[in-house]
Amino acid sequence: MWQQSPDTDGDGDIDAADKRIYDDAVAGAGAFNLGGYSDWRLPTIKELYSLIDFRGIDPSGYEGTDTSGMIPFIDTGYFDFAYGDTSAGERIIDAQYASGNLYVANTGNDGGLTLFGVNFADGRIKGYGLSLFGSDKTFFVIYVRGNTGYGQNDFADNGDGTVTDHGTGLMWSGDDSGAGLNWGEALAWVEQKNIENYLGYSDWRLPNVKELQSIVDYTRSPDTTGSAAIDPLFSATSITNEAGEDDYPCYWSGTTHANWTEAPGAHGAYVAFGRAMGYMNGTWVDVHGAGSQRSDPKAGDPDEFPTGFGPQGDAIRIYNYVRLVRDMDI
């Protein structure tokens, strides 16, 4: 059960004044009462991401002010939503919502604590430095109550190269593709694996982005556990990232990350199981954390993006890896 509106101050408007720093967002849950309930909490990143709706259109790069024709990444038939408060100096895409998950490592934004949040304006999970450029980062806040077991994995090693998550009813390949592929190649690789009856099954698919995010282990990261952010039952190919560090791949989903440009379907959503690299202040760093969800062009040449793309210089790899999924046999 969810709080419907992030109108924290209750004035009927959703704007910058409604946003809260992380500590206040956590503390506020204890005193929050809505609908006759007093057991509200700040959602985990998996709970919060359950609300994302990829019918949204990413406005990143849009320089206008009219948002009337835009579509956010949350169902506005049920939830109140507003884009960033431009009258307060925010960008249109500044609609980041706080989760209860601090990154177990630190990003290169400020060297301090980093909080995972979902941006329902641009359709991404990113880690946000809580103290950035000398000020405290603020977030929209909606609380949740009920099922405290939501998003918890129940993995079983099937002994045949597959791993079943009884929490979701999904079966995964234990190994990944072992090489980077663009989005079209990823789809073709899945088809080939089905022709081969890989691991005894011919109904594999490229996971949608919510399925893929469901297997992130937010207690793990390359900097803290020396591993990908995934359960050790899975293997993850080692790579060398843009900073020359040992790292782990980003994985393609089958979900298109639509944007407002003339080629709205040219990008696909991916999840970073290693560091989510970006080019900041003349160097490559982990800007958003293992467990982030961003997007890449479905095809093209990554050499055209030597310093990444966007405000944090997000690494553009294009050739991401693949992990297969299928529905568990009943």
In this structure, the answer to whether residues 292 and 231 fall within a common structural domain is yes
Judge if 163 and 298 occupy the same domain. yes
Tens of pLDDT, residues 176-187: 999 999 999 999
List of E strands, the chain: 96-102, 114-119, 124-129, 131-132, 135-136, 155-157, 162-165, 170-173, 239-240, 246-247, 250-256, 267-272, 277-280, 283-286, 293-297, 325-327
Q: Look at residue 9 and tell me if it is in a domain.
A: no
Whether 229 and 261 share a structural domain: yes
Q: Residue 198's pLDDT is what?
A: 98
Confidence of residue 111 (pLDDT cuts 50, 70, 90): low
For position 261, what pLDDT does the model report?
Answer: 87
Question: Is 147 within a domain?
Answer: no
CA distances from 138 to 8, 17, 94, 97, 129 (A): 12, 10, 10, 9, 10
Domain assignment of residue 8, yes or no: no
Residues 81 and 227 occupy one common structural domain:
no
Q: Could you report the per-residue pLDDT of 185-204, keeping only the tens digit for each?
A: 999 999 999 999 999 999 99
pLDDT score at 69? 85
What confidence score (pLDDT) does residue 110 get?
Answer: 59
17-29 average pLDDT score: 96
Considering the domain boundaries, does residue 225 fall inside one?
yes
* Structure confidence at residue 66 (pLDDT): 85
Determine the pLDDT at residue 106.
83
Same domain, yes or no: 129 and 166: no
pLDDT tens readout for residues 226-280: 999 999 999 999 999 999 999 999 999 999 999 998 889 999 999 999 999 999 9
What range defines the domain where residue 299 resides? Answer: 155-327
Same domain (yes/no): 184, 319:
yes
Query: Do 118 and 131 touch, CB atoms closer than 8 A?
Result: no
pLDDT, average across residues 215-226? 98
Q: What is the DSSP letter of 92?
A: T
User: Do 89 and 220 fall into the same domain?
Assistant: no
Which of 132, 120, 129, 150 is CA-nearest to residue 46? Answer: 150
Is position 65 within any domain? yes
Are residues 309 and 245 part of one domain?
A: yes
The pLDDT-based confidence of 132 (bands split at 50, 70, 90) is low
Domain shared by 123 and 80, yes or no: yes
> What is the structure's pLDDT at 44?
98
| Nearest CA-CA partner of 61 in 311, 317, 318 | 311
Nearest to 271 by CA among 226, 225, 327, 230: 230
Closest CA to 279 of 249, 248, 310, 312: 312
Which domain-ending residue is among 102, 136, 170?
136
Q: Is residue 146 part of a domain?
A: no
pLDDT tens digits, one per residue of 285-326: 999 999 999 999 999 999 999 999 998 999 999 999 999 999
Range 50-70 burial, b when 16+ CB lie within 10 A, else e: bbbebebbbbbebeeeebeeb
pLDDT band at 25 (very low <50, low <70, confident <90, very high): very high
| Confidence label for 64 from pLDDT (cuts 50, 70 and 90) | confident
Q: What are the beta bridge partners of residue 279?
A: 284
Q: What is the pLDDT of residues 66-110, one digit of tens each?
A: 888 899 999 999 999 999 999 999 999 999 999 999 999 988 655
Contact 88, 15 (CB under 8 A): yes
Residues 99 and 209 in one domain: no
Q: What is the model's pLDDT at position 323? A: 98
Q: Are residues 123 and 190 in the same domain?
A: no
Of 106, 136, 166, the residue at which a domain comes to its end is 136
Please tell me the total count of domains within the chain: 2
Q: Are residues 176 and 96 located together in one domain of the fold?
A: no
Identify whether 11 is part of a domain. no
Q: What pLDDT score does 133 carry? A: 54
| Per-residue pLDDT, 135 | 65
